[in-house]
């Protein structure tokens, strides 16, 4: 099974979905040094995360270097029903990006 | 010819018999004991043994007849596991991380998870069954254990989301990705060969010498130098006396406290040594015989006392 950079779990209860998201990303600040060579490790961090509900962006987050490695985020979504598609996409300062979309349970 | 020595006997026998019947009916007299036992305990029944015999081999031997799907596992995991291990196995707070960490084993801070480090799925199943959930160990049914095991494998991207783990499908996932990096340790537990015939009489076997390899190495590397009495004293002091005498615990005279030691030395070195060996109740505290170290020889204790005097007064 191919590992995706974004994992999403979403569950609906009483019309409100609780969605949890885990993004696999190193989130390098650019100020950390390699322990062996002493060279700076180049910065690589997520700058923008877009959370969508049935294809429509419902929340956009602008992140910086203070966010931890493999960031975890969770939110609740109103007027959600089982089967609705919830998507998350991210892009980082190096131009890399990732996305995933799952149906709510 | 048999006759009762006196008339009291039949009465006694009758009473004894009556008592025996009473005891037997009330269950106070034990049933006949099986030969070769100490008279207590009983043979374990097959059901009792089955209750304990729950280990699972790496190849899946010992697995219960049941199955569990990733789908069922997700619900169980969210209910029972996610509070600590996180919805994605990322670990909440300092609770163990279950998934991820692939390729980090050579880094300064390796992340050891089921997917990145563990060798066998049997360990995962067995551990969940025995020890999880943390607050209610051994509470999961065989089906639930299968389902949660399957889900943890899914969290590690080792199986698809429609996977069903059972005794039959276990073989597909028995070995985890890092399995090949574990190697058997070929060193034998002991060097002794088992004797099967013409063996020595066990009663005649004696230890005749110290381990020869050690003795030879010492002889070759460093000329054997007997420790001087002072060195012996220091060694004994560090091993046995320092616990109290370094800090003055329980009224013990501290090492280096010249005034205190000189006061005590006025009684004479011999007296001090005698007190140390036999124990002594003094004004400031109590010296247990040999400081409680009865394995030490009198000479060793004496050397330790001399060492302490020398260190404190000179």
pLDDT values of chain B reduced to their tens digit, one per residue, 314 residues? 455 445 455 555 555 555 554 444 554 555 555 556 677 788 889 888 888 888 899 888 888 888 899 888 988 998 889 888 988 888 888 899 998 888 888 888 888 999 899 999 999 999 999 998 888 888 899 999 999 999 999 988 888 888 898 888 888 888 888 888 888 887 777 767 778 888 888 888 887 766 666 555 555 555 555 667 778 888 888 888 887 887 777 778 888 888 888 888 888 888 888 888 888 887 777 788 887 777 888 888 888 888 888 888 76
Please identify which residue in the block is written with the tokens 């670990």.
B91
Output the six-digit token pair for A39. Answer: 């060279």
Q: How far is CA B157 from CA A43, B29, B86, B135, B149, in A?
A: 28, 64, 16, 27, 13
**How many independent structural domains does chain A possess?**
1
- Which is more confident, B129 or A35? B129
pTM for the whole thing? 0.55
Which domains occur in chain B, in start order?
67-181 (1.10.760.10), 229-313 (1.10.760.10)
- Tokens 């059972």, residue located: B166
Q: What does the alpha-carbon distance between residue A86 and residue A59 come to, in Å, rounded to a whole number? A: 11
> Contacts of residue B157 in chain A, CB cutoff 8 Å?
1-3
Asked if A44 is an interface residue toward chain B (Cβ–Cβ < 8 A), one would say no
Q: Which residues of B touch A24 (CB under 8 A)?
A: 100
Query: How far is the C-alpha of A74 from the C-alpha of B87, rounded, in Å?
Result: 11
pLDDT for position B127: 93
A1: pLDDT strictly greater than 50: no
A66 touches chain B (CB under 8 A): no
Contact A70 B78 (CB under 8 A): no
Give the count of beta carbons closer than 10 Å to the beta carbon of residue A89: 18
User: Is residue B74 classed exposed, middle or buried when 0-12, 13-18 and 19+ CB atoms within 10 A define those classes?
Assistant: buried
pLDDT at residue B52, as a whole number: 86
- B172 in reach of chain A (CB within 8 A): no
Residue A1 lies in a domain: no
Alpha-carbon Rg for chain A, nearest whole angstrom, is: 16
pLDDT at B54: 87
Distance from CA of A56 to the nearest CA of B (A): 25
d(CA B138, CA B314): 65
Query: Of A18, A23, A19, A13, which Cα lies nearest the Cα of A100?
Result: A23
pLDDT confidence of residue B123: 92
Containing B181, the helix (H) or strand (E) segment is none
Is A72's CB within 8 Å of B158's CB? no
Nearest CA in chain B to A105: B75
Is A103 a domain residue?
Answer: no
- Tell me: pLDDT of A38 over 80: yes
**B172 within 8 A of B161, measured Cβ to Cβ:** no
Q: In the block, which residue shows the tokens 């191919």?
A: A2
- Encoded tokens for B68: 């569990």
A23: closest CA of chain B, how far (Å) = 10
* Residue A104 belongs to some domain of the structure: no
CA distance A104 to A76: 12
SS3 A68: coil
Distances (CA, A) of B129 to A17, B64, B148: 31, 11, 10
CA distance A7 to A1: 13
Say yes or no: B159 contacts chain A, CB-CB below 8 A: yes
- Which of A2, A3, A32 is the best mutation test for B, with the most CBs of B within 10 A? A3
Instruction: Note down the domain range covering A61.
Output: 6-98
| C-beta separation of A90 from A23 below 8 A | yes
Q: Sort out which chain A residues have CB atoms less than 8 A from B100's CB and list them.
A: 24, 70
Quick check: is A105 in a domain? no
- The predicted structure's pLDDT at residue B16: 56
Q: Do B87 and A35 touch (CB under 8 A)?
A: no
User: From CA B220, how far away is CA B241, in angstroms rounded?
Assistant: 34
Asked if A11 is an interface residue toward chain B (Cβ–Cβ < 8 A), one would say yes
State pLDDT tens for residues A82-101.
888 899 999 999 988 888 88
Report how far residue B158's alpha carbon sits from residue A3's, in angstroms, rounded to the nearest whole number.
9
Is B87 in the A-facing interface, judged by CB distances under 8 Å? yes
Dihedral angle, C-alpha B27, B31, B37, B42, nearest 10 °? -70
pLDDT higher than 70, residue A48: yes
Find the CATH number of the domain harbouring A23.
2.60.40.10
Report the residue from A20, A35, A70 with minimal CB separation from B87.
A20
Which residues of A fall within a CB distance of 8 Å from B86?
A: 22, 72
Cα distance between residue B91 and residue B97, in whole Å: 4
């Amino acid at each position: 099974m191919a590992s995706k950079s974004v994992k999403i779990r979403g569950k609906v209860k009483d019309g409100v979905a609780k969605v949890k998201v885990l993004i696999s990303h190193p989130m390098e600040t650019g100020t950390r040094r390699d322990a062996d060579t002493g060279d700076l490790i180049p910065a690589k961090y997520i700058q923008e995360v877009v959370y969508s509900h049935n294809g429509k962006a419902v929340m956009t987050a602008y992140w910086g270097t203070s966010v931890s490695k493999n960031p975890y985020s969770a939110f609740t979504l109103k007027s959600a029903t089982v089967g609705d598609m919830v998507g998350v996409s991210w892009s980082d300062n190096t131009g890399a990006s990732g996305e995933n979309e799952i149906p709510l349970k | 010819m048999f006759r009762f020595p006196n008339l009291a006997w039949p009465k006694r026998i009758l009473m004894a018999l009556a008592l025996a019947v009473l005891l037997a009916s009330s269950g106070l007299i034990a049933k006949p004991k099986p030969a070769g036992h100490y008279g207590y305990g009983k043979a374990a029944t097959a059901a009792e043994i089955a209750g304990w015999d729950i280990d699972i081999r790496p190849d899946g031997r010992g697995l219960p007849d049941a199955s569990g799907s990733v789908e069922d596992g997700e619900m169980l995991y969210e209910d029972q596991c996610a509070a600590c291990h996180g919805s994605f196995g990322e670990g909440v707070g300092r609770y163990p991380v279950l998934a991820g960490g692939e390729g980090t084993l050579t880094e300064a801070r390796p992340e050891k998870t089921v997917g990145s480090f563990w060798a066998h799925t049997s360990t995962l199943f067995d551990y969940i069954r025995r020890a999880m959930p943390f607050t209610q160990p051994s509470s999961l049914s065989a089906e639930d254990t299968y389902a949660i095991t399957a889900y943890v494998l899914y969290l590690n991207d080792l199986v698809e989301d429609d996977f069903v783990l059972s005794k039959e499908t276990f073989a597909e996932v028995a070995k985890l990705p890092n399995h090949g990096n574990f190697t058997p340790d070929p060193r034998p537990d002991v060097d002794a060969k088992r004797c099967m015939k013409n063996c020595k009489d066990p009663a005649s076997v004696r230890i005749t010498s110290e381990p020869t390899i050690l003795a030879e190495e010492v002889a070759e590397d460093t000329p054997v130098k007997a420790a001087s009495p002072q060195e012996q004293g220091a060694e004994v002091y560090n091993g046995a006396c320092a616990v109290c005498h370094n800090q003055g615990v329980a009224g013990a005279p501290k090492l280096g406290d010249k005034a205190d030691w000189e006061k005590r030395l006025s009684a004479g070195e011999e007296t001090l040594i005698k007190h140390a060996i036999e124990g002594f109740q003094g004004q400031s505290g109590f010296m247990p015989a040999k400081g409680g170290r009865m394995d030490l020889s009198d000479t060793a204790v004496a050397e330790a006392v001399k060492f302490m005097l020398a260190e404190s007064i000179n």
